[in-house]
C-alpha cells in the first residue's frame, strides 16, 4: 500500500443528533488534529438536533468550525449527503461524535490518496472497554481489522468503518440519503474503477457500549441496512466485470449474514449424529456449553474478559437473524439514534 505525506484540501464532516453531552469533546479533538488550517474545513452536520448541540457548535465559529443545520431530521446518511454539497475539500472525511481521532489520524488517512488507485480509505477501530478489560466485541473488532488488512493487501476492502473513513470528492457525488454511507462509498469507488483500503495507522477510538442489551438493536439496524444495500447492488456479483471483488462481496457480506442459519443446521445435524457417535456427542456438548455461557452472559451481564466472547457471538448472530426477518418482511431503516457509550 502506497502512502506519502500530502496536503490536499480536506473537509471533515461530523454528523450529530442531540449530542450536547459529547460534541464539545469532539470539536476540541478535531481542532487538535495535525493538519494545515488553511487546507482543512470542519463541518458539523446537525441532523435535526433539538438540544443545545447547535448552540455549542456555533460557539466554535471563531475557531473555524462550521455548522450545517439540517432542520428536518432525515437520518445520518441524509445529513452527510447535505454536508457533501457544502464540502470544499478534494478529500472528504466522515466521522461521528463518539469517535476520537489521534492527532495524526487525519494526516495518516489522507496520505493514502497519493495512490491513484485508491478511492476510499477506512480507519482501524480501537475499542476502549468500560472496565478497561478486553471484551467480546473488542476481540471481534481486532479480528475484523485483521481481515481488512488482508483484504487491502489482496485487492480491496468490502466495507469501511462508518465512524471514520475518507473518500475522494468524485466518489461522494453518488451519495444517497437512505443508504448506508460506508458501504455505499466503497461500492461507488469500485464503480469508478478505484478500490478501498484500510490504514492501520489511522485510528478511531471509541468506548464500548454502556448498555449491551440496547446495543442489540443497533446491531440489528446495522445488518438490516447492510442487507438493503447488498440486494440493491447485485451487479457487483458479476465476476466478469468486478473480478476478485465479486468473490469478496459474496463471501464477506452474504455468507457472513447466513452464518446464523448455518449454525442452526450444524446444531440440529450434530444432535442427530450424537445419538450414534461419541465424537458428535462431545461436539454437541461443546456447542451447548458455548451457547449456555453466551445466554447466561446476555441475561446477567456479569461476564468479563474472554468469557464475553460466547455472549457476543450469540448476540451478533441473533441480531443477524432478526435483521433477515425484518428485511424479508419489508422493514427498512433511515433514522438513527447514537448509542450511549
The string of pLDDT tens digits covering residues 17-30 is 999 999 999 999 99
| Mean pLDDT for all residues in the chain | 88
Mean local confidence (pLDDT), 269-290? 94
| Beta carbons within 8 Å of 8's beta carbon, 6+ residues apart | 39, 89, 90, 91, 110, 113
- State the average pLDDT over residues 31-44: 95
* Residue (of 180, 184, 209) closest to 196 by Cα position: 184
As a whole number of angstroms, the distance between CA 48 and CA 71 comes to 5
Range in 125-129, 134-138, 167-171, 260-264 the model is least confident about:
134-138
User: What is the pLDDT, as a whole number, of residue 74?
Assistant: 86
* 203 beta partners: 124
**Burial class for 30, CB neighbours closer than 10 Å (0-12, 13-18, 19+):** buried
Report whether pLDDT(132) > 80: no
Alpha helices in the chain (DSSP H): 23-31, 53-58, 76-84, 105-110, 136-154, 181-191, 212-232, 239-242, 244-248, 256-257, 259-273, 278-300, 308-328
For the chain, domain boundaries? 10-208, 211-333
- Confidence bin at 137 (pLDDT 50/70/90): low
Question: What average pLDDT does this structure show over 313-318?
Answer: 92
pTM of the model: 0.86
Percent pLDDT > 70 in the chain is 91
Highest mean pLDDT (candidates 71-80, 157-166, 171-180, 261-270):
261-270
Cα-based angle 205, 41, 117 (whole degrees, multiple of 5): 70
Is residue 99 pLDDT above 50, yes or no? yes
CA distance 115 to 118: 6
| CATH number for domain 10-208, candidates 3.90.1170.50, 1.10.3720.10, 2.60.120.890, 3.90.550.10 | 3.90.550.10
What tens digit of pLDDT does each residue of 191-242 get?
999 999 999 999 888 766 655 666 788 889 889 988 988 998 999 999 999 9
Residue 134 has pLDDT above 50, yes or no: no
The string of pLDDT tens digits covering residues 192-203 is 999 999 999 998
**What does DSSP assign to residue 308?**
H
The two beta strands, 40-47 and 10-16, are parallel
Amino acid at each position: 500500500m502506497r502512502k506519502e505525506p500530502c496536503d490536499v484540501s480536506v473537509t471533515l464532516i461530523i454528523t450529530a443528533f442531540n449530542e450536547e453531552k459529547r460534541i464539545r469533546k469532539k470539536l476540541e479533538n478535531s481542532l487538535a488534529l495535525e493538519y494545515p488550517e488553511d487546507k482543512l474545513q470542519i463541518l458539523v452536520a446537525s441532523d435535526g438536533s433539538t438540544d443545545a448541540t447547535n448552540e455549542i457548535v456555533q460557539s466554535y465559529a471563531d475557531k473555524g468550525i462550521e455548522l450545517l443545520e439540517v432542520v428536518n431530521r432525515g437520518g445520518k446518511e441524509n445529513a452527510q449527503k447535505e454536508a457533501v454539497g457544502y464540502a470544499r475539500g478534494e478529500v472528504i472525511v466522515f466521522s461521528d461524535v463518539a469517535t476520537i481521532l489521534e492527532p495524526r489520524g487525519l494526516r495518516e488517512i489522507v496520505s493514502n490518496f497519493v495512490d491513484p488507485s485508491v478511492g476510499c480509505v477506512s480507519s482501524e477501530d480501537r475499542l476502549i472497554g468500560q472496565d478497561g478489560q478486553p471484551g467480546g466485541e473488542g476481540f471481534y473488532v481486532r479480528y475484523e481489522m485483521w481481515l481488512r488488512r488482508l483484504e487491502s493487501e489482496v485487492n480491496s476492502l468490502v466495507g469501511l468503518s462508518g465512524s471514520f473513513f475518507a473518500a475522494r470528492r468524485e466518489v461522494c457525488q453518488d451519495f444517497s440519503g437512505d443508504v448506508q454511507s460506508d458501504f455505499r462509498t466503497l461500492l461507488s469507488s469500485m464503480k469508478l474503477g478505484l478500490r478501498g483500503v484500510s490504514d492501520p495507522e489511522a485510528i478511531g477510538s471509541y468506548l464500548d457500549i454502556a448498555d449491551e442489551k440496547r446495543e442489540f438493536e443497533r446491531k440489528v439496524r446495522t445488518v438490516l441496512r447492510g442487507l438493503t444495500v447488498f440486494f440493491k447492488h447485485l451487479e457487483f456479483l458479476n465476476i466478469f466485470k468486478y473480478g476478485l471483488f465479486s468473490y469478496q462481496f459474496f463471501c464477506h457480506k452474504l455468507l457472513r449474514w447466513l452464518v446464523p442459519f448455518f449454525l442452526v443446521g450444524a446444531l440440529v445435524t450434530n444432535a442427530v449424529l450424537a445419538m450414534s457417535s461419541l465424537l458428535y456427542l462431545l461436539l454437541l456438548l461443546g456447542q451447548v456449553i458455548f451457547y449456555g455461557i453466551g445466554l447466561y452472559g446476555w441475561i446477567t451481564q456479569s461476564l468479563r474478559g474472554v468469557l464475553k466472547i460466547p455472549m457476543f457471538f450469540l448476540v451478533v448472530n441473533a441480531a443477524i437473524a432478526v435483521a433477515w426477518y425484518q428485511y424479508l418482511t419489508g422493514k427498512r431503516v433511515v433514522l438513527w439514534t447514537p448509542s450511549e457509550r
